Amino acid sequence: MYENGVRALQRHDYPGAATQFRTIMERYPEERELQERSHLYLRVCERETARRPATPQTPQERVYAATVALNAGDTAAALDHLTRALTDAPESDHAHYIMSVALASKGDSARALEHLRQAITLNPENRALARQDPDLEPLRHSEDFRDLTEGVTAGRSKARKRR
């Protein structure tokens, strides 16, 4: 049981390790050395568990977590948070905007433009923000991006493409 707790601790499975050490402390109160080591490791587990950020629960918390993940370079985590945020709040212009940023950073321009279009449709103020946002640099070469940020309507955009 002690070895399982130590292995869990080494894997950074702090809740699992804490369970093992608590069980040892309950079952073997007369083993002083085992109690001391278990207590020490239990404190490590509790300290590490307290450091971990809470799992985001609301769409707003998920968008914030996605922004933090993007800033840390973890695009996969950001996309996961944003997908969940948009599932719960499909009309969140902010979630669509950050999804556009995440997809642009990943090189998925087509989907990034779809989400940017949705963000601007839901909140036209996103148009000006997108014009200035360096995170959308990968999209700037696109005619669709220029149409979106300059406010060209879909009809004008289609007419321009036919020429």
Identity of the residue numbered 51: R
| Same-domain status, 45 and 112 | no
Furthest CA-CA distance within the chain = 87
Among 51, 69, 90, the domain boundary falls at 51
Q: Would you say 88 and 59 are in contact if contact means Cβ atoms under 8 Å apart?
A: yes
The mean pLDDT of 103-132, rounded to a whole number, is 96
At residue 50, the pLDDT reads 79
Q: What is the CATH number of the domain that holds 98?
A: 1.25.40.10
| Same-domain status, 74 and 130 | yes
User: Please, what is the angle between helix 93-106 and helix 75-88, to 10°?
Assistant: 150
CA distance 42 to 14: 9
pLDDT of 162 higher than 60: no
| Same-domain status, 19 and 71 | no
At residue 49, the pLDDT reads 80
- Predicted TM-score of the model (pTM): 0.63
| Same-domain status, 112 and 158 | yes
Task: Tell me the per-residue pLDDT of 56-93, one tens digit each, with 9 for 90 and over.
Answer: 889 999 999 999 899 888 999 999 999 999 999 999 99
pLDDT of 96 higher than 90: yes
Task: Tell me the per-residue pLDDT of 37-55, one tens digit each, with 9 for 90 and over.
Answer: 999 999 999 888 877 666 8
At residue 54, the pLDDT reads 67
Task: Tell me the per-residue pLDDT of 7-18, one tens digit each, with 9 for 90 and over.
Answer: 999 988 888 999
